[in-house]
Amino acid sequence: MQDARLVALNAQDAAQRGASIMTRCKVTAAVCITDDAGQHVWQIELQDALTLSQQTVYAKALVNATGPWINQVIDQQLSTQSEHKIRLVRGSHIVVNKLFEHDRAYFFQSSDQRIAFAIPYEQNYTLIGTTDQDHPQTADDVICSQAEVDYLLALANEYFDSPVTQADMVWTYSGVRPLFDDGASKSSEATRDYVVSLQQQLGAPLVNIFGGKITTYRKLAEATLAKLEAQFPHMGSPWTQHAPLPGGDFLLEHKAQIKQQLLQQYSFLSADWAQRLINTYGTNANNILGTASCSDDEKEIVDIFDRKIYTLDESLKWCNL
């Protein structure tokens, strides 16, 4: 799964449903005030990271879903306190040349009683992960250490017949899990459950989200909104369980058929390039290609997307969303 695409697709979905998406925009301060009608509201100061322009917006409720930066936001931007804290735990991965031809994943039991995996990745590679290391640095400073590389290689070599060495590696990446700090002695034993905390003593409601995982983000979002039902009595019932994200409105078994249709419509595409487009954009691949009719058009699209120079706003426009 491409986590960056998941973020972009949720933003696109929200935009289609009427949300204002403000990329590269920082909350510099948020205070609870009483408006002219005598209602408690949040006054939120925003700054555009590119132009440094500032604006003020108002909200009936505020959700702090800043992940590894949550306590920093509580202390600095909100100037308040919370009884809960997070524990930063680093998870690192290595990407190696393809180790097997089939499309199934392997799960391993490591010698330190952890579960690790090796899964097909981006057609030509195998992804091996992950680690559980306490991360005392800031969430902005995250890299896969050599010790983690050695750990993952040793783990893979416990199970695969052919040796996996550092020479097979093409990439490493790391992320920080903002785990709810439950006082566990080991990082691998820290809870993966999330805590949704509602504070109302400031006037307007503030919801802080501690922990959470990509795999349960929609369930977490519904739990968050449930905390705000009193503030928004006309809120609808949960609906996301069966709702696809943009481009995901097809069954997995139809993926090969969609790829074939794309190849027929755009004859200049290679099979690998068509597969990449379907994997990344799903049924929105047609919006990406638009009226392209030759390899020169394709090259322009490749240049734009591979250099990753576009902002989310530009991506929204490019995809006609």
Q: How far is CA 147 from CA 173, 198, 260, in A?
A: 14, 40, 44
Secondary structure tally for the chain: helices H, strands E? 9, 12
Q: Which residue has the tokens 């809120």?
A: 235
- Residues 212, 178: contact at Cβ < 8 Å? yes
Q: In 3D, which of 59, 33, 66 has the Cα closest to residue 232?
A: 59
pLDDT at site 140:
85
Q: How far is CA 164 from CA 95, 129, 148, 207, in A?
A: 11, 14, 14, 46
Other beta carbons within 10 angstroms of residue 194's beta carbon come to 20
Q: Which residue has the tokens 């919801």?
A: 207
Tokens of 49: 């990271």
pLDDT at site 306:
44
| % of the chain residues with pLDDT over 70 | 91
Mean pLDDT of 5-10: 90
Asked if pLDDT for residue 4 goes beyond 70, the answer is: yes
Q: In 3D, which of 134, 130, 132 has the Cα closest to residue 121?
A: 130
Dump pLDDT digits (tens) for 166-225.
999 999 999 999 999 988 877 777 888 899 999 987 789 999 999 998 889 999 999 999
- The alpha carbon dihedral of 64, 62, 28, 10 has a sign of positive
Strands (E) in 62-168, as ranges, are: 62-64, 86-97, 106-109, 115-121, 125-129, 133-134
Higher local confidence (pLDDT), 315 or 178:
178
Tokens of 88: 């930063």
pLDDT at site 236:
92
- Residues 299, 269: contact at Cβ < 8 Å? no
pLDDT at site 319:
47
Give CA–CA dist 163/130, Å, rounded.
19
pLDDT at site 152:
96
Mean pLDDT of 89-106: 95
Mean pLDDT of 104-111: 90
Other beta carbons within 10 angstroms of residue 219's beta carbon come to 15
Higher local confidence (pLDDT), 303 or 116:
116
Higher local confidence (pLDDT), 293 or 91:
91
Tokens of 75: 């202390």
- Residues 144, 174: contact at Cβ < 8 Å? yes
Mean pLDDT of 129-144: 89
Taking the model in full, what pTM does it have? 0.84
| % of the chain residues with pLDDT over 90 | 67
Asked if pLDDT for residue 164 goes beyond 70, the answer is: yes
| 147 half-sphere exposure, CB direction, 13 A CA radius | 5
pLDDT at site 114:
86
User: In the predicted model, what is the mean pLDDT of the chain?
Assistant: 88
Say which DSSP state 182 is in.
Answer: -
Which domains occur in the chain, in start order? 3-85+190-241 (3.50.50.60), 87-180 (3.30.9.10), 252-318 (1.10.8.870)
Asked if pLDDT for residue 315 goes beyond 90, the answer is: no
Dump pLDDT digits (tens) for 263-297.
999 998 999 889 989 998 999 998 888 888 776 65
For residue 309, name the pLDDT band (cuts at 50, 70, 90): very low
Report residue 15 CA to chain centroid gap. 17
- Residues 223, 196: contact at Cβ < 8 Å? yes
188-192, 230-234, 300-304, range with greatest mean pLDDT: 230-234
Asked if pLDDT for residue 303 goes beyond 50, the answer is: no
For residue 298, name the pLDDT band (cuts at 50, 70, 90): low
Pairing of strands 133-134, 86-97: antiparallel
Dump pLDDT digits (tens) for 21-78.
998 899 999 999 999 899 999 999 999 999 999 999 999 999 999 999 999 999 999 9
Give CA–CA dist 67/86, Å, rounded.
9
- Residues 32, 202: contact at Cβ < 8 Å? yes
